[in-house]
Structure 1
Amino acid sequence: MLDQLGADRMANVPFSGIREIFEECDRLEDQGTDIVHLEIGRPDFDTPSPIKQGAIDALDRGDVHYTSNYGIQPLREELATKLEEENDIRYDPDDEIVVTCGATEAVFVTLLGIVEAGDEVLVPDPSWTYSAGIQLAGAEPVTYELDPQTGFQPDIDSLREAVSPETKLLIVNSPNNPTGGVLDEAHATEIRDFAVDNNLLVLSDEIYEKILYDDKTHQSLAALNAMRDRTVTINGFSKAYSMTGWRLGYLAAPAELVDPIIRARQYTSTCASSISQHAGVRAVGSGLHEPMVEAFERRRNRVSERIERIPGMTCPNPTGAFYAFPTLPEGYTDDREFVFSLLRESGVALVPGSVFGDAGKGRLRIAYSNSVERIDEAFDRLEHWL
């Protein structure tokens, strides 16, 4: 019998804390409990019909085979046009854009291609689960703070304290998961200056780019002076177009950075689904996301209204994505205990803030990826439970 079945590098890679919530929801629903889902980081809408038709047409044409590791040419050309017109960044569709199996794969192959043992990577705290991919690539995650007093903008002083001679890569996520914060122009400029001064590469995760409220605008870091050559821009179709199951994302970077990334990509999934890629061609530049964003804004407004009614619960108003990140109500300190007790006793599913890092302790992530009616039901249950 083998003494050790798992690789040593997996020892520090935790199971997803969000997945633990999903599994408890499944168990309770199997017992007949009605669960109000505010934990799921995905739109609850159907994929728009024109996008689905793009997939149907691809099937009818027989476009069902492997594609280039970079993705199909029509999609890369559409993305190059989108990036130039919407983000003010020019990329060559032939060797500077890579279509991936979701933005998650784009993040992972970027890390595999760029960092290694001995490198450090600066990660926002709180944030999505970048740290696991960094550890799998052999590097070390080092956190920097997002400041709730400024709507969860990056704390530049925290960045200066976190950087070291071993730091190679800085990760920025805007609009942000889990906070709903959106990087403003002033902080984007500070990030640019910091990256240039410390000669850092940057991974800019912009997957929630199109989900913005209150006349906010999106800041693409690669568009700033001196940033294009050091930045990998990551985006995808899951959030804006409600295409989570289609597994379609992309990355854009100068050819010198794409070269090591595409080498890693060749040995992962080979290529994104050809059918999903043809659907993606119909999505780019379509404006099909706009009705969903309008619905998310109505939901954001209702969540903010209901949070204000609960003593001790405070939250910077989210201006992007579809998450709120409030503090626990008055009298509570353990976010994990709070979430599981609420779920088991009242059927409301949230995510403990500590899942997203030390800065999330004592907070909750509320995903308003559910109807206004179900949001009200969740808060009615929460108030009654409190």
Structure 2
Amino acid sequence: MDSVTPATRMASVPFSGIRKIFEECDRLEAEGEDVVHLEIGRPDFDTPKPIKEATATALENGQVHYTSNYGIAPLRETIAKKFETENEVSYDPDGEIVVTAGATEAIFVSILGLINEGDEVLLPDPRWTYGAHVELAGGTPVSYELDPEDGFQPDLDSLEAGVSEQTKLLVVNSPQNPTGSVLSRERAEAIRDFAVEHDLIVISDEIYEKILFDDATHHSLASLDGMHERTITVNGVSKAYSMTGFRLGYLGAPPELIDPIIRARQYTTTCAPSLSQWAAVEAIDRDPHGPLVEAFAERRERVLERLDAIDGMTCPEPTGAFYAFPTIPDGFDDEEDFVWSLLQEAGVALVPGTVFGDTGKGRVRIAYSNSLERIDEAFDRLEAWL
């Protein structure tokens, strides 16, 4: 074969900026360098023992085959109970819940099942990688700003400026990656009013919902009046229970939204890993997230304390997830140059803010998914390098 011509739609889909940093870390570590990882958006803890034991039991019991595209019944029932008791949202386990291979797949099959060529999708800026999902589905991403002067709450004027007759879908993420912001009740209700007024479908990405600090409260958009029938609620077990490798996510939605989603889901991974589904039953039922959140709270305080000592690195206080999104230090104009120089010269890995959108200009994402000792080591190196 002399040449390979990629699909036209791939031209606008970039390689992940986070993965570029990760690959450079691998290269440096292969050369014997010690790298402090503050770029990885995953808990660094082991999976709690009862969850691992449930996985082993499922393996011993021969639960090793394909499952329903919707997921095993005990897990769907457990998820439905969780939605009802924790989120005040009612979903029928038979037909309104779909188990997926990670929350990433839940979001992708939702967009793939709902978006036509030319449809527009409102996405937060800064944001995780929703834009690539939209482009792969043939849609057009349109950004709305999260205001750093307002704790990275959604800017309502920006939402109004971005909506058009072609807008079909709105994506909301709270607690938020990369800023650590948590949607206030007032702003959640404003988004509800906006979605109802413009008759939009909403994907509510709530994967970090259990990682909250201080007095922050999580609000599931589907629980608000007028939102149940238009909302796809996405969640999973990766973040709260340190189960990223299990690849287990889920979503809840009314039947008319589930129908196109399950059609797309049938032709992707078929079903989530069977062992992971049984592990998730134990995880959601037992809900052992407390110690993990306590550790992240302590790390957050350390990161904010260390940031405060560096000229130019200001940061709205994150109230959820495990990210901070500060400005770059004085003396730097370009976040990409700052991040790559810091990594190659001091062995500290961060992510440039512009990986997440235009609002990330002049900022970096810090994932405090590392120990207190390594966080201190990272800031010691940063200060010495500066």
**Same-fold status (TM-score > 0.5):** yes
Q: How do 1:140-289 residues align onto structure 2 when only pairs under 5 Å count? A: 140-289=140-289
Q: How do 1:43-54 residues align onto structure 2 when only pairs under 5 Å count? A: 43-54=43-54
| CA distance in structure 2 between the aligned counterparts of 1:296 and 1:222, rounded to whole angstroms | 27
Q: How do 1:92-131 residues align onto structure 2 when only pairs under 5 Å count? A: 92-131=92-131
How far apart are 1:204 and its partner, in Å? 0.3
Please state whether the residue corresponding to 1:284 is helix, strand or coil.
helix
| CA distance in structure 2 between the aligned counterparts of 1:299 and 1:65, rounded to whole angstroms | 40
Query: Which amino acid in 2 is paired with 1:10?
Result: M
Match of 1:377 in 2: 377
| CA distance in structure 1 between the aligned counterparts of 2:2 and 2:232, rounded to whole angstroms | 41
Match of 2:68 in 1: 68
Please state whether the residue corresponding to 1:34 is helix, strand or coil.
coil
How far apart are 1:3 and its partner, in Å? 5.0
| CA distance in structure 2 between the aligned counterparts of 1:352 and 1:123, rounded to whole angstroms | 19
| CA distance in structure 2 between the aligned counterparts of 1:78 and 1:381, rounded to whole angstroms | 46
Is 1:40 matched with 2:46? no
Match of 2:332 in 1: 332
Please state whether the residue corresponding to 2:369 is helix, strand or coil.
coil
| CA distance in structure 2 between the aligned counterparts of 1:2 and 1:266, rounded to whole angstroms | 34
| CA distance in structure 2 between the aligned counterparts of 1:168 and 1:4, rounded to whole angstroms | 34
| CA distance in structure 2 between the aligned counterparts of 1:167 and 1:5, rounded to whole angstroms | 31
Query: Which amino acid in 1 is paired with 2:9?
Result: R
How far apart are 1:284 and its partner, in Å? 0.6
Please state whether the residue corresponding to 1:134 is helix, strand or coil.
helix
Question: Percent same amino acid at aligned positions?
Answer: 68
| CA distance in structure 2 between the aligned counterparts of 1:336 and 1:187, rounded to whole angstroms | 32
Please state whether the residue corresponding to 1:203 is helix, strand or coil.
strand
Query: Which amino acid in 1 is paired with 2:383?
Result: E
TM-score, normalised with respect to structure 1: 0.99
Query: Which amino acid in 2 is paired with 1:96?
Result: E
Match of 1:139 in 2: 139
How far apart are 1:108 and its partner, in Å? 0.4
Q: How do 1:316-331 residues align onto structure 2 when only pairs under 5 Å count? A: 316-331=316-331
| CA distance in structure 1 between the aligned counterparts of 2:241 and 2:338, rounded to whole angstroms | 33
Query: Which amino acid in 1 is paired with 2:198?
Result: N
Query: Which amino acid in 1 is paired with 2:171?
Result: I
- List structure 1 runs of 4+ shifted beyond 2 angstroms: 1-5
TM-score, normalised with respect to structure 2: 0.99
Query: Which amino acid in 2 is paired with 1:173?
Result: N
Is 1:293 matched with 2:267? no
How far apart are 1:361 and its partner, in Å? 1.1
| CA distance in structure 2 between the aligned counterparts of 1:385 and 1:234, rounded to whole angstroms | 41
Gaps (5+ residues) in structure 2?
Answer: none
| CA distance in structure 2 between the aligned counterparts of 1:333 and 1:71, rounded to whole angstroms | 49
Query: Which amino acid in 2 is paired with 1:382?
Result: L
How far apart are 1:150 and its partner, in Å? 1.3
Query: Which amino acid in 1 is paired with 2:129?
Result: T
> What does the per-residue CA deviation read over 1:313-364, in whole Å, with 9 as the maximum and x for residues that have no partner?
1000110000000001111111111001000100000000010011101100
Please state whether the residue corresponding to 1:181 is helix, strand or coil.
coil
Query: Which amino acid in 1 is paired with 2:304?
Result: S
> What does the per-residue CA deviation read over 1:123-170, in whole Å, with 9 as the maximum and x for residues that have no partner?
000000100000000000000000111110000000000000000000
| CA distance in structure 2 between the aligned counterparts of 1:146 and 1:115, rounded to whole angstroms | 24
Superposed CA RMSD: 0.7
> What does the per-residue CA deviation read over 1:287-318, in whole Å, with 9 as the maximum and x for residues that have no partner?
31110000000000000000000001100011
Match of 1:91 in 2: 91
How far apart are 1:79 and its partner, in Å? 0.3
> What does the per-residue CA deviation read over 1:94-116, in whole Å, with 9 as the maximum and x for residues that have no partner?
00000000000000000000111
Match of 1:311 in 2: 311
How far apart are 1:2 and its partner, in Å? 5.7
Q: Which moved further from structure 2: 26-35 or 285-294?
A: 285-294
Matched residues, number = 386
> What does the per-residue CA deviation read over 1:48-99, in whole Å, with 9 as the maximum and x for residues that have no partner?
0111111111011101100000000000000000000000000000000000
Q: Which moved further from structure 2: 331-340 or 170-179?
A: 331-340
